[in-house]
Amino acid sequence: MHSHQIRSTFFAFFRELDHLLIPPGSLIPDDEGMLLTGAGMVQFKPYFLGERVPPSSRLMSTQPCVRTVDIDNIGRTTRHATSFEMLGSFAFGSYFKPEAMEWALRLLTDGYRLERDRLWVTVFHDDAETYDLWRRLAVPTNRIQKLGLEDNFWSMGVPGPAGPNTEIFYDRGERFGPAGGPAVNKERYLELWNLVFMQVIRGSSDVDIVGELPTPCVDTGLGVDRLAMVLQGVDHVLDTDGARRLLPDLPDGPSLRIVTDHVRTALLLLRNGVRPGNEGRGHVLRRLLRRTIRHLRLLGVDGPILGELTGDPVVAQEEAQFGRTLQRGSRLLDKEMRRHGRVPGDVAFKLHDAHGFPIDLTIEIANETGVPVDLDGFHSLMTHHRQTSRHPHPSGRPTAWA
Ligand code: SER
């Protein structure tokens, strides 16, 4: 099934159930503290909180999302990507758990024709009601697993609506690892759909609950790319019809996966007006581009290429500048790693401060080489540097670290 059919099947199903289709929200959220839209519900936050009235009490959408929390997993697993598309159904008081769960199961098995016996679910350990509802929907208890806050409680990561969730997984079979369900293996058991039962207001953390929503709400997110993996019979999220194959002449492997993933996300950010920078979204973009440049060099692509791939002169400039930094910094880092068998804090700091060689790259290279980085030492030098540059030397002379 093509991605466009995955979308149209979803919308046809929920249209029948009176859901109103809303266009995707901006990738740049209207929410302080949130860098990028990472879920379909972000644009609906005021509806959950009761601050604004939704155009219908049942909505649906498809939302491009960027999430870089899993950046280190790109190329290592088959299922992670820094950007993806999420189909969503939402209810603001008009229905709750029983309907959301029954419909999700029905759409997966009747609409997308997934084998029922391959579906597993996880529920929040305290949420006996959801556990019981899955049982009543004839999901065998040996395929219902209870997990904690980390897995089965959802929030935006900033103050706002939150609640327990239940996730639906598809068993891709033993080729992807040992049995035991999603609780033990999320590569074999692929998370497809997350059903969040929004009920509370999160404060500064997931354990800081500061109130209740005016009415219980539903927020579900079905990963288009993940479902496409299953329905198109491909092993890797970047092999679905939604991902453009970049640089087909280069050898497949983690580096090419990283390049393909990061260029896709960088393009999304660029199209939304983000420019490479040292802070916030600009830093996210810069980090993606820098990792891309490094992995292109590892693949043997020495010349400039990113400007052409992205069609963006700013990116070409970034590549030219960082290409030089990378060469110089890598040489220095190699030398120091050989000399010390580790990366001392002052070396990591010097690379960062004097050579513009980012700490995350130092960590990545050191990890690949199998040597430790003295991060405590690095951070204390950074703190010292920040303090001294905030309080410059009274004589105006540069400080030791400037
Ligand atoms: N907000 C939930 C998620 O992002 C469900 O849409 O997984």
Q: What is the pLDDT of residues 104-122, one digit of tens each?
A: 999 999 999 999 999 999 9
What is the pLDDT, as a whole number, of residue 272?
94
361: exposed, middle or buried (Cβ count in 10 Å: 0-12, 13-18, 19+)? buried
User: Does 399 score more than 80 pLDDT?
Assistant: no
User: Does 401 score more than 70 pLDDT?
Assistant: no
Number of Cβ within 10 Å of residue 109's Cβ equals 14
What is the pLDDT, as a whole number, of residue 273?
94
Backbone angles phi, psi at 333, to 5 degrees: -60, -45
Q: What is the pLDDT of residues 298-338, one digit of tens each?
A: 999 988 899 998 899 999 999 999 988 998 999 999 999 99
* Cβ 63 under 6 angstroms from ligand 1: no
Domains along the chain with CATH numbers: 3-239 (3.30.930.10), 245-340 (no CATH), 341-402 (no CATH)
Cα Rg of the chain (Å, integer): 23
Q: What is the pLDDT of residues 74-91, one digit of tens each?
A: 888 999 999 999 999 999
User: Does 135 score more than 90 pLDDT?
Assistant: yes
* Cβ 220 under 6 angstroms from ligand 1: yes
pTM of the predicted model over 0.95: no
Amino acid (one-letter) located at 300 = G
Residue to mutate (ligand 1; options 84, 196, 226; most atoms within 8 A of CB): 196
* Cβ 61 under 6 angstroms from ligand 1: no
- Taking the CA of residue 86 as reference, the ligand 1 atom at the shortest distance is 6
pLDDT category of residue 248 using cuts at 50, 70 and 90: confident
The answer to whether 104 and 193 have CB atoms below 8 angstroms apart is yes
CA dihedral 28, 31, 37, 39 (to 10 degrees): -150
What separation in Å is there between the alpha carbon of 196 and the centre of ligand 1? 7
What separation in Å is there between the alpha carbon of 23 and the centre of ligand 1? 17
What separation in Å is there between the alpha carbon of 148 and the centre of ligand 1? 16
Residue ID of nearest Cα to ligand 1 atom 2? 221
- Taking the CA of residue 65 as reference, the ligand 1 atom at the shortest distance is 4
What is the pLDDT, as a whole number, of residue 250?
86
What separation in Å is there between the alpha carbon of 319 and the centre of ligand 1? 34
CA dihedral 245, 248, 253, 259 (to 10 degrees): -60
* Cβ 88 under 6 angstroms from ligand 1: yes
Residue ID of nearest Cα to ligand 1 atom 1? 39
Q: For all residues of the chain together, what is the average pLDDT?
A: 92
What is the pLDDT, as a whole number, of residue 390?
62
* Cβ 40 under 6 angstroms from ligand 1: yes
pLDDT category of residue 72 using cuts at 50, 70 and 90: confident
What separation in Å is there between the alpha carbon of 220 and the centre of ligand 1? 6
Residue to mutate (ligand 1; options 19, 220, 226, 227; most atoms within 8 A of CB): 220
Backbone angles phi, psi at 142, to 5 degrees: -75, -5
